[in-house]
Amino acid sequence: MKAYRLTSTGTAPEIADLPAPEAGPGEVVVEIAACGLNFADLLMIEGKYQQTPPPPFTLGMELAGTVIARGPGVDAPALGTRVAVMAGSGGLAEMGAFAAEACLPIPDAMPFDDAAAFQVAYGTSHLALARRARLAPGETLLVLGAAGGVGLTAIEIGKLLGATVIACARGAEKLAVCAAAGADHLIDSSREDIRAAVKALGGADVVYDPVGGDQFRAALSATNPEGRILAVGFASGDVPQIPANHLLVKNIDVIGFWWGGYALFNPAALRESMAALIGWYEQGRLAPHISHRLPLDRAAEAYELLRTRKSTGKIVVTMGADQPSP
């Protein structure tokens, strides 16, 4: 089988030919149809992500496909079950062996590319906004990096939770995508003063920040008393230092959020969240935005689109099964 492999930290990954995997105890083999790319993949290539496997390994954190074999001790999922898997790695391949308990059965009506783009982005936004920030109806939510993979899902979920949503992104094209996702107000971060624009709209009660850097600092200044700022990531490469006196004076909470950590200390919260999200998807209330679908042999190009921020929503690499036309 073919797989997109990283052989050593900091080098360019390459397509490799590998033996087909076998299912070990507690594992299933999945014939992979699609793999969603994430910013964390880029950090793994550089050896900077908190859960980077030792090289060599196959890239691709989240995937979707069909169970084709089961290892000893596995009763479910059944052979032929369509599943999404948050595996951490191994998704950019034609097949993979994964823990059976990591497999999430998906509805028949959910295409594999939607499933591969679903868990990290929607899971992050749902738990961050509903559980950690306690976003309430009538509050104002500011989403930074709003046209990205998690940003667009934060807009959708913020609206479902009853918030007024301010979307901040670079350029008219990306802002149009944010508007289509349901944003009430739009801020062009390439030419507008974020702090002034948000304050003119009445300030933010909750800030969803996957960007960090100057945008975090601007949002902090525009957050209302008793507001909550979610530190979701640092795509800018700048981890901001937070002046505690500002938090004190305005009674503001800064809340750290790492979705993957829940698999370690509260997997039940992940299961409950994903069940709610799948329900919303089946009701037609969530619509994953995939700006690019590329085949496995163009995985390097897919990552370059992610690295240079030329995509909106998610990028999905497909293996040729059950996929709509690009």
Say if residue 184 is in the same domain as residue 72.
Answer: no
Which CATH number do you get for residue 202?
Answer: 3.40.50.720
* pLDDT band (50, 70, 90) for residue 29: very high
What is the rounded distance in angstroms from the CA atom of residue 296 to the CA atom of residue 320?
A: 9
Q: pLDDT tens across 219-237, in order?
A: 999 999 999 999 999 989 8
Assigned domain for 276 exists: no
Say if residue 204 is in the same domain as residue 95.
Answer: no
Say if residue 62 is in the same domain as residue 152.
Answer: no
* pLDDT band (50, 70, 90) for residue 87: very high
For residue 239, give its domain range. 120-261
Say if residue 106 is in the same domain as residue 131.
Answer: no
Say if residue 147 is in the same domain as residue 111.
Answer: no
Which CATH number do you get for residue 112?
Answer: 3.90.180.10
* pLDDT band (50, 70, 90) for residue 300: very high
Q: pLDDT tens across 231-288, in order?
A: 999 989 899 999 999 999 999 999 999 998 998 899 999 999 999 999 999 999 999 9
152-168 as b/e: b if 16+ CB within 10 A: bbbbbbbbbbebbbbbb
Residue 225: CB atoms within 10 A of its CB come to 10
Say if residue 94 is in the same domain as residue 145.
Answer: no
Say yes or no to pLDDT of 49 above 90: no
The whole-number pLDDT of residue 323 equals 42
Say yes or no to pLDDT of 34 above 70: yes
* pLDDT band (50, 70, 90) for residue 210: very high
* pLDDT band (50, 70, 90) for residue 289: very high
The whole-number pLDDT of residue 10 equals 81
Say if residue 169 is in the same domain as residue 84.
Answer: no
Asked if residue 278 lies in contact with residue 107, where contact means CB atoms within 8 angstroms, the answer is: yes
Say if residue 301 is in the same domain as residue 174.
Answer: no
Assigned domain for 268 exists: no
Count the domains in the chain.
Answer: 2
Assigned domain for 57 exists: yes
Say if residue 93 is in the same domain as residue 225.
Answer: no
* pLDDT band (50, 70, 90) for residue 322: very low
